[in-house]
Structure formats: C-alpha cells, structure tokens
Amino acid sequence: MIKAGIVGATGYAGNELVRLLLGHKEVELSFLVSRSYAGQPYASIYKNFMKFVDMDCVGDELPGLLSEVDVVFTATPQGYLAGILTEQMLEKARFIDLSADYRLKDVEIYEKWYGIKHGSPNFLPEAVYGLPEMNRNGIKDTRLLANPGCYTTCSILTAYPLVKEHLIDPNTLIINALSGVSGAGRGAKVQNLYCEVNESAKAYGVATHRHTPEIEEQLSYAFGSPVVINFTPHLVPMNRGILVTETASLNEGVTQEDIKAAYTKYYGNEFFIRLLDGGCPETRCVEGSNFVDIGFRMDERTGRVILMGALDNLVKGAAGQAVQNMNIMFGFRENEGLMTLPMLP
C-alpha cells in the first residue's frame, strides 16, 4: 500500500484521479490540494463523491505535505511544478506531472510554444515521458514522470508503429483531431459556454497548437531523424473524447498486411490498446475507460493510409494514463484501478 496526494484535485483531471484512485487496491489518498477550494469538503464540490470521500481540500502547502506520501500527482497548469520543484522534494516523493512542464527536452521549444519561462530546466534530462506503450522500461525507475496529454497520446500512439517501422513518410503526416469540451478544463471561459459550443464545431490553434512540437519530438525519436507534421485540433460539442484522423504517404511497396503486422508487433500484447480489424474508432466506445481504439484504411488510389484513433481525454488522455504510469513505477499490476468498462450509451 502506498500513499498518494493530488495537487489540482478540483479540476477535471484531478477529479478523475480521485475517482480512479478510490478504486485502486494499493493506494490510499492522503491529501487533496486546491487553491480555489481550500478548507471546503471535497464532496461539496463534486457531489458524486458523497459517502466516498470524507476529506477537505487543503491549500497549496505542497513541500510541507510530502512527508505524508509516496507519490504526488500534479494536475496543474503549465509552470506550476517547474516553478516549485527542488531536489529536496524529489528526495521525499515521486512526482507524476500532468502538465507539459517536463514533456519537451528542449527548454527553448517549451518556452517558445508555451510562452512562459521554465522554472527548473535542470530536471528535464531525468524526466521520463510517460507513454507506457513506448517507454515502459524508463518509467519503472523514474522519480519525475511527464504524463502526456490527450491529443498527444492519441496522435502518437495511432502513428507510432508505422513511423517506427518506416512504412510511411512521417513528414507527410497530417493529423486532424476532435476533442470534447472537458479537454479545455473546468475554468470559466466564454468560448466554452454551452451556447458557444453546442450545435457547432470549430478548428482552433491552426498551425500554432502547442502540442505540435511534443508530437513531433516523440515521432522523431521513433523514426530516428527529425519529423515535421501538420496538426489541427477541433472542438466538438461532447463532454469527453478524442478522435484523431491521420493521413500519410505510404512508402513504396507497403501492403495492408505490412501495416497490420506493424500494429500487431507493437500493440498485440498491450492491454489498453484495441486494434480494430477494418473498423473505425468511436469516442463513445472508449468513454470512461483507459482504452485506445485504433483502426486504419489504405487508399491505393492515392498511395496514402488513413489512421484513426479514439480515447477518453480525461482517462487515457490524462488521469488514467497517470495511474497506469504509477502502477509501473511502483510495481503494481499495470491495469490495477483501471478496469472500468467503457460506458455505453
């Protein structure tokens, strides 16, 4: 049994962490940090936790709380953890950060795309990118884990086997991604109001979205040389879910069997990736779960391939992946606490 604390517990990802960790046999929650709701009962903020969580939120006194826990989840905005993290803190507990603070190895790229100065670039070399299906061995022993987000997880996993096996030209990769509104967080914003989002769909961050360099960096590692992509996100009127549709030029002679074999090679034994034989993923089929559904179609007429992936942005795209990473870090069964079936309808 280990003890865990959550910073940013009243955001959507923090709320999902609480839900998942309550069902984990090996974890006890020790504290829930929320600047906005310090002193208030957690179950008064998220009433679905009545009779399940009898804890008050505490203020942001993280360094003083570390003696109580083995692991800290920081479901916080960019810049928070990087601004406070010290060697002394890392000696007391392991950190799983759900922000982008430690995902990019090049501090100049981080500062350019996120528009803030990095507070602790000295920790970037040791931080491990927490995509278990690609970095499981590195995750086991790290004390600082950079948990990927929803767009990046879905985009990277959908393309990774074909990039790794050099079946496509990755510099022709075009990614269009759809996200539910919860991906924008719980904070009040005019553009996320019901009347602004309902019965509409829109692209945003066109050619400028800050997850672009993260996707490029990870696919570059897989390919063995720099990769440049087009990534366009879209907001659609649903609560949860990410759906990506990716197209790329096939290398000469690549067959459908080659593509299928590549996916099977890398994901055939991965519990949380479901390969759809000719089918197209749907967000409703992964909602509430830690699964990623992936399918593909070849277009012989154009010599391109269409790749499709779907996940729940709050689970595999945030909190569920963080719990999966924690399980690896502490030697638990990887799907412990993550056996929730997708919710249908």
Residues involved in catalysis:
150
Between CA 233 and CA 151 the distance in angstroms is 8
| DSSP H or E segment with residue 176 | strand 174-179
Alpha helices (runs of H) in the chain, residue ranges in sequence order: 12-22, 42-45, 62-65, 80-84, 87-92, 107-114, 132-141, 150-164, 194-197, 212-223, 256-267, 320-329
Amino acid of residue 240: R
Strands 202-203 and 230-235, by their bridges, are antiparallel
Nearest to 170 by CA among 112, 70, 246: 246
Between CA 208 and CA 230 the distance in angstroms is 10
CA 279 centroid distance within chain: 24
